[in-house]
Structure 1
Amino acid sequence: MTSAMRSIFRREFSSYFATPVAYVFIVIYLMLSGIFTFYVGGFYERGQADLSPFFTYQPWLFLFLIPAISMRLWAEERKSGTIELLLTLPLGVMDALLGKFLAAWAFTSIALLLTFPIWITVNYLGDPDNGVIAASYIGAMLMAGGYLSIGVAMSALTRNQVIAFVLAIAFCFIFTMSGLPIILNFLDGWAPDWFITLIASFSFLTHFSTLSKGVLDVGDLLYFFSLMALWLFLAHVIIDAKREDG
């Protein structure tokens, strides 16, 4: 990490906690995680000490909560006019881009790690496979990074935070839904097998489901890192194009 990137990272990360918004987000996220794990997910009725209900609902929580984090990253800079000042500083676009992205990812990871009381509760109630749970947390962090990278690109596309939020949800929704049976069964009647497999391979759920079973497959790790790299590259292209257009 370059010194310029570190400066952007520190600036962005501290800005999350400069207002009550970050604390409200964390409280809402923790409350929803607990509700979905113990009540909606039927934790007690299952009679099994694991965190399957918790991780089952994480993609759907991320689908709406992470775009709320990413929508301001570039849209706010463009609306306030500070993006011109930011990009005239002695740092590259990629430094600013990665600094903002890593700050948002670190904030999201902290929110995820603050769910550790749920993990402790499961260990108190039973004898879960903690290796599987640890791998699931890693998978959830990578999936959060994937959602964030899409949100960053959408935030770079517009100066309106609401539009950035809606666009991020729409694209994240596509990447989430593409692996569900309802989509694959619809394609099964007329699309070739290779096309169905390709569509399923784009889904966050397809790759996260493997990680949530405790299998740290190289292909799944490569998928999430490649996805982040692709969307951050697209964000870089968008920012460059917007800067040239003035």
Structure 2
Amino acid sequence: MIGIVFKREFASFFATPVAYVFITIFLILSGIFTFFIGGLYERGQADLLPFFNFHPWLYLFLVPAIAMRSWSEERKNGSIELLMTLPITSFEAMMGKFFAAWAVLALSLMLTFPLWLTVNYLGNPDNGIILAAYVGSWLMSGAFLAIGMCMSALTKNQVIAFILAIVVCFLFVVSGSNIVLDAFKGWAPSVVLDTIASFSFLTHFESMSKGVIALNNVVYFLIVASLWLYGGLLIIEQKKAD
């Protein structure tokens, strides 16, 4: 049944301008950040670090935008009642929606392959590192997406779901930044600093963007996605009971 929901949701993204607009904006902003802000040519190095360094900040706004409709739209249109009358469980509906949106994110990443071709034309990059960074970026996008879907399950209003997702995702992004950690230095023990930093998407994605796919980083993103999806599932179950 997850496959049925997946096909329905994935098709719905392309039946409306949602997927096309998202992919277009993602590709344009990726190019701007890579070439104009990241200075790909000026660095004189054949790698895609300028491209991947901005992914957490791109996802911070773009992923909540694609996730906000997942449940809010269903509840607003009343189609969630129809969905729940079908012979599928809430878990199957949640996972089908999640995998469909995650597939759109994967497609968006794959369409950036001209950047990969560009650095291979300009030099001899370590393609293993680039591939690892792509995998890390996709895993991180799944964590962003799960948070956005949980927030979407909370409210019928897509704008509210969008704002809530940005706020929560922002906290996960900046928790490991120097600005946040500096506020705790001097009075908090190192174990507290390490704990705060361990929640940051930046901390875990940074090493993956440099080609290190450590098991703890992969597990981290999968656990974050699973917990937020479970939270969204609990909310949906509660709405069904009301």
Do they superpose with TM above 0.5?
yes
Cα displacement (A) at 1:21: 2.6
* Distance in 1, Cα, partners of 2:26 & 2:82: 34
What is aligned with 2:177? 180
Deviations 1:92-149, CA, capped at 9 Å, x for gaps: 1000000000000000110011000000001001111100000000000000000000
What is aligned with 1:119? 116
What is aligned with 1:104? 101
1:63 pairs with one of 60, 63, 86:
60
Structure 2: 5+ residue stretches without partners: none
What is aligned with 2:19? 22
Cα displacement (A) at 1:70: 0.2
* Distance in 1, Cα, partners of 2:18 & 2:156: 20
User: Is 1:227 equivalent to 2:224 in the alignment?
Assistant: yes
Q: Percent identity?
A: 59
* Distance in 2, Cα, partners of 1:50 & 1:225: 27
For the residue of structure 2 that corresponds to 1:32, the secondary structure is helix
Q: Is the 8 A contact 2:137 2:205 kept in 1?
A: yes
* Distance in 1, Cα, partners of 2:240 & 2:189: 43
* Distance in 2, Cα, partners of 1:220 & 1:140: 11
2:155 pairs with one of 132, 151, 158:
158
Q: TM-score, normalised by structure 1?
A: 0.97
* Distance in 2, Cα, partners of 1:127 & 1:192: 44
User: Is 1:88 equivalent to 2:85 in the alignment?
Assistant: yes
* Distance in 1, Cα, partners of 2:59 & 2:210: 19
* Distance in 1, Cα, partners of 2:96 & 2:105: 14
* Distance in 2, Cα, partners of 1:126 & 1:181: 33
1:135 pairs with one of 132, 136, 139:
132
Counterpart amino acid of residue 88 in structure 1: T
Counterpart amino acid of residue 170 in structure 2: F
1:201 pairs with one of 174, 198, 202:
198
Deviations 1:42-70, CA, capped at 9 Å, x for gaps: 11111111100000001100100000000
What is aligned with 1:54? 51
What is aligned with 2:36? 39
Deviations 1:24-53, CA, capped at 9 Å, x for gaps: 211111011011001100111111111000
What is aligned with 2:215? 218
What is aligned with 1:149? 146
Aligned residues: CA RMSD:
0.7
* Distance in 1, Cα, partners of 2:17 & 2:81: 27
Counterpart amino acid of residue 135 in structure 2: I
1:238 pairs with one of 229, 235, 240:
235
Q: Is the 8 A contact 2:176 2:202 kept in 1?
A: yes
Counterpart amino acid of residue 213 in structure 1: K
Structure 1: 5+ residue stretches without partners: none
* Distance in 1, Cα, partners of 2:224 & 2:16: 31
Cα displacement (A) at 1:189: 2.1
Deviations 1:170-227, CA, capped at 9 Å, x for gaps: 0000000001111111111221211111110000010001111111101001101111
